[in-house]
Amino acid sequence: MFGSISFALQTNYSANFSFTADFSQNPVVTNFGSEFRIMGSSFGSGYDLSFSLKDTNLESAKLVLKFDNFKLSLYDNQIFGTTTDPIVLYQITTGQNGLEFQYDNYKLALFNSIDLMYVLGNIGDIGFIVGKRGSSIDIAASYGVKFAGMNLNVEGIVQNVTSFDVKNLVGFSLLTDQSQNWGIRYVFAGAKDTKLPYSPQTINEQNTLVLWYKFGKSPSFNIYLDTYFGFENPSKNFMDNTTVGLDVNFGQMYLNLKKIGLSDVNGLMPTDWGKFYISAGTQFSIFDFSTRIGYAFGKPIHNSVNTIGELLYGEAGRTFGNISLFAKYQKIIGYYEEKDFFYSEVKFTGFSNGEVAIRIGNGDFNGNNPFVPAGGVYFNLWW
């Protein structure tokens, strides 16, 4: 049953050193950081083990024991256990402790670090999930079928089964063609404030509808509609909550047009257009630098600037042998605020077991990260 006993053990090491300085502070704040990791993996007949030690602590580990159709997986600080149903009833996005027990198509997942456990499997063509979330029992059933060149997926969910309430019902359906060039996605919720605590599916109203259609090759087009509405005032909800958009791509160029809400256009001036977003840009090569530029005008113009405004973006990068250069800049001009973003990196990769990078600024331009004169030198070594 267990086969011959043999195993292999492999270890990898990595060390990261960083020296950072924040020149926006007075006095300048400097910090020296170091991390040392040992990544080990061992596998043999009937088991797989992988682990990561950071400094002297166990950072994460995974042990899988397999025999015949059974598989037992033990986790320490690992991201595991996201369900595979169409709506994703339980999505796990951070490291957790727990175990999974799998037999054929059936799986039992138990979490030590969050109050959640579930069983999932298939009965014929119907997938099911029965979960215990705190003191609540959730049940989900899903079905998928292909016909006439189309794919149809449907799912029904009842949360907190033992205290049945229409509010806790969720229904899902998705109809697409085989290539996903067009699609209709509909989600029904028993009430406006229905929530799926662990699911990425957001519910704003009882009905959520998404339509899309892609056509053309060069240029290619994608037209879409995204809306949510209740049963009490569906037409008003539809007008207030509908987003329509058109994306055009031609070679390296793009143009995106989006209108959020259809009931708030009050005039010809952009300040009377309600929420909208127009962006255009292109990629090209100049002096062997790979370059991108873009421009946007809209409201809200950025995650951190909620008013009407404009956004200019540019980036350039090039590799010279073992040296790579990269820089990007973004300027946002809002109603009453302006923000400048800048990030630059020089990386030396000519070493067999390491690399050195010099970075300045924060590369996350989607967040509220205007440029601050802070940066550092980073050494990564591995063997």
Partner 1 sequence: MKNFKSKLFLLIVFIMGLLTIFAPLSGCMKLLNLQISDGIYVVGDWNDWVPTENDKMIYSSEENCYIFELPTASMTFKASRSGNEYSIGWYKVIYKSGGVTKVSSGIPVWKENLNDDKLVIYAKPDYMINGQPIGVGDSEKFKTTLSKWYVGGEFNNWNLSNGEMAWDNTNKVFKYTLKDFNATKKTYPFKVTRNVGDWKPWEFNYDGKKYDAGYDNATLQLEETGTVDITITFDPKTSKIETSVDYK
**Which residues inside 97-136 make contact with partner 1, applying CB under 8 A?**
114
Residue 366 lies near partner 1 (rule: CB under 8 A):
no
Residue 373 lies near partner 1 (rule: CB under 8 A):
no
How many binding residues for partner 1 (CB under 8 A)? 50
**C-beta atoms surrounding 194 within 10 Å:** 21
Residue 312 lies near partner 1 (rule: CB under 8 A):
yes
Quote the tokens at residue 217. Answer: 């090759």
| Pairing mode of beta strands 169-177, 182-189 | antiparallel
Candidate list 41, 306, 319, 324; residue touching partner 1; CB under 8 A: 306
Residue 248 lies near partner 1 (rule: CB under 8 A):
yes
State phi, psi for 236 to the nearest 5 degrees: -65, -45
**Helix H segments across the chain?**
234-241
| CB-based contact 313:297 (threshold 8 Å) | no
- Contacts (Cβ under 8 Å, ≥6 apart) of 179: none
C-alpha to C-alpha distance for 308 and 275, rounded to whole angstroms: 8
Candidate list 10, 11, 12, 30; residue touching partner 1; CB under 8 A: 30
Candidate list 12, 104, 216, 350; residue touching partner 1; CB under 8 A: 216
Candidate list 1, 5, 269, 286; residue touching partner 1; CB under 8 A: 269
CB-neighbour burial class of residue 383 (10 A; exposed 0-12, middle 13-18, buried 19+): exposed
Q: How far is the CB of 297 from partner 1 (least distance, A)?
A: 5
Residue 268 lies near partner 1 (rule: CB under 8 A):
no
Q: Considering only 3-11, 38-46, 174-182, 300-308, which stretch makes contact with partner 1 by CB under 8 A?
A: 300-308
Integer Rg of the chain from CA = 26
Picking from 84, 118, 86, 85, the residue whose alpha carbon sits closest to that of residue 99 is 118
Residue 53 lies near partner 1 (rule: CB under 8 A):
no
Q: How far is the CB of 252 from partner 1 (least distance, A)?
A: 12
Residue 161's SS3 state is: helix
Residue 252 lies near partner 1 (rule: CB under 8 A):
no
Q: How far is the CB of 13 from partner 1 (least distance, A)?
A: 23
Closer residue to partner 1 in complex, CB, 225/278:
278
Residue 31 lies near partner 1 (rule: CB under 8 A):
yes
C-alpha to C-alpha distance for 120 and 128, rounded to whole angstroms: 6
Closer residue to partner 1 in complex, CB, 65/316:
316
Residue at 77: amino acid letter: N
| CB-based contact 165:159 (threshold 8 Å) | no
Residue 81 lies near partner 1 (rule: CB under 8 A):
no
Closer residue to partner 1 in complex, CB, 6/56:
56
H-run or E-run covering 14: strand 7-22
Residue 359 lies near partner 1 (rule: CB under 8 A):
no
Residue 26 lies near partner 1 (rule: CB under 8 A):
no
Candidate list 174, 196, 260, 360; residue touching partner 1; CB under 8 A: 196
CA distances from 340 to 25, 28, 279, 314, 322 (A): 18, 21, 18, 12, 30
Contacting positions for partner 1 (CB under 8 A): 22, 25, 29-32, 94, 114, 195-199, 202-203, 216, 219, 248, 250, 253, 255, 269-271, 278, 280-282, 293, 295, 297, 300, 304, 306-310, 312, 333-337, 339, 362, 364, 367-368, 370
